[in-house]
Amino acid sequence: MDIEDTLLMIPGPVKVAPRVLRTMSRPMISHRSGEFGAIYSDCRALLKDFFETKNEIVVMTGSGTVGMDAAVAGIIGRDDTIVTISNGKFGERFTEIGERYGRVVPVKFDWGTPFDLDKVAAALEEGAKAVAMVHNETSVGLTNPAKEVGNLARKHDAIFIVDGISSIGGNEFQTDEWSIDIAITGSQKALAVPPGLAVVSTSPRAEERMLPKSASYYADLKAHLKSARKSPAQTPYTPAVPLFYALQEALHMAADEGFAARRARTARQAEAVRAAAKALEIELFPKVNEHTHYSNTVTAMKMPTGISDDKLRGGMKKQGVVVSGGQEQLKGKIFRIGTMGVCSTSDILQTIQTLELVLAKEDRLPQRGAGVEAASKALGI
């Protein structure tokens, strides 16, 4: 099947609108020109609304991990301690990054299980300059309690760093209200831009407590903040100019829809996937409690009994719909459907219909059309 006829329903990179792709073909400009500065300044202003923050915003060329690296490297030195909280692959990444720069106190939970906030509090009581967590753990489809951890961070005077890469713009994410000092997202998620940009918001409190010199040369937040404040606005190193074109166009698309309206649409679409899973007798993977929620940007489900990953995801791919599998120890055990960015109602229904076709072929479909019917009802159709 031609790639142009394939529906991408993974949790990033996500589908990109044609108008965003077209704008990337504009002629190249100097990254030190007033024209580029105007584009960057416009993006920074719109991103403040996207992040729900009054804090400074910088855009870095690189994946979301560059933003994670910049946050930790800018705050944590060799003699500093960072508490990292993980219940999935990307929380563990914060631990790995922290180990490069300073001392790490990891607070680990089984993948897909909620945080025990008492354990987080106990770790912070031992003293730490910062605490880092993933708000939406993409690997398991679970949204973690940033607000509650933010309260603990303030109580213990720790800088609060949050990976909002698959969350900001899709889930509720209140940067300022939740006392988040450094928040990070990536272009290929809810922004619906091709991969290659990391966006980082930084509070005055975090900036005051940054190291005199970051251990990272390229991911130096101080350097990026300094350049962004110039007139015209700049980046310290050569940026991926076409991606900035795309970012500006995508932000205007999101603003036209309304940032709150986009989050609400994403929530409806995720609920439709969850409703379809229930109707098809497919169990959701993560466990939730009063502090955690099923993600609105990616739904993680257990592989139905009697069907292999190859049969399910491979079968859907042959029908033109691509969904994600599990990572590391969850490989072959779960599959994940992304719902963020410019994902449409028809995308959701096509995905569920294709899933039903595969289940029917493997004689695992409990009731014909049940998934599509449940999804349609959740979508208000």
Q: Give per-residue pLDDT as tens, 5-44.
A: 799 999 999 999 999 999 999 999 999 999 999 999 999 9
R_g of the chain, CA atoms, integer Å: 21
CATH fold for the domain made of 3-13+259-378: Aspartate Aminotransferase, domain 1 (3.90.1150)
In the chain, pLDDT over 90 holds for what percent of residues?
A: 98
Domain 19-255 has CATH 3.40.640.10: yes
Mean pLDDT, residues 165-188: 98
* Residue 273 binned pLDDT confidence (cut-offs 50, 70, 90): very high
Domain with CATH 3.40.640.10 in the chain: 19-255
Q: What is the pLDDT of residues 353-379, one digit of tens each?
A: 999 999 999 999 999 999 999 999 999
Write 1-9 long-range contacts (CB < 8 A, 24+): 1/318, 1/320, 5/320, 6/317, 6/320, 6/321, 6/322, 7/320, 7/321, 7/322, 7/347, 7/350, 7/351, 8/322, 9/321, 9/322, 9/323, 9/337, 9/338, 9/339, 9/343, 9/347, 9/351
Continuous segment of H or E residues that includes residue 15 = none
Continuous segment of H or E residues that includes residue 45 = helix 34-51
Domain with CATH 3.90.1150.10 in the chain: 3-13+259-378
* Cα 117 to Cα 128, 135, 146, distances in angstroms: 16, 14, 11
Q: What is the pLDDT of residues 280-323, one digit of tens each?
A: 999 999 999 999 999 999 999 999 999 999 999 999 999 999 99
Question: Assign residue 281 a region: left if phi > 0, alpha if psi is -120 to 50, beta otherwise?
Answer: left
Of 178, 187, 185, 76, the C-alpha closest to 134 is 185
Amino acid at 89: K
Q: What is the pLDDT of residues 325-355, one digit of tens each?
A: 999 999 999 999 999 999 999 999 999 999 9
Question: Residue 4's pLDDT is what?
Answer: 76
Q: With 0-12 CB in 10 A as exposed, 13-18 as middle and 19+ as buried, what is 116?
A: middle
Question: Residue 3's pLDDT is what?
Answer: 73
Mean pLDDT, residues 253-274: 98
The pLDDT of residue 1 is above 80: no
The pLDDT of residue 2 is above 90: no
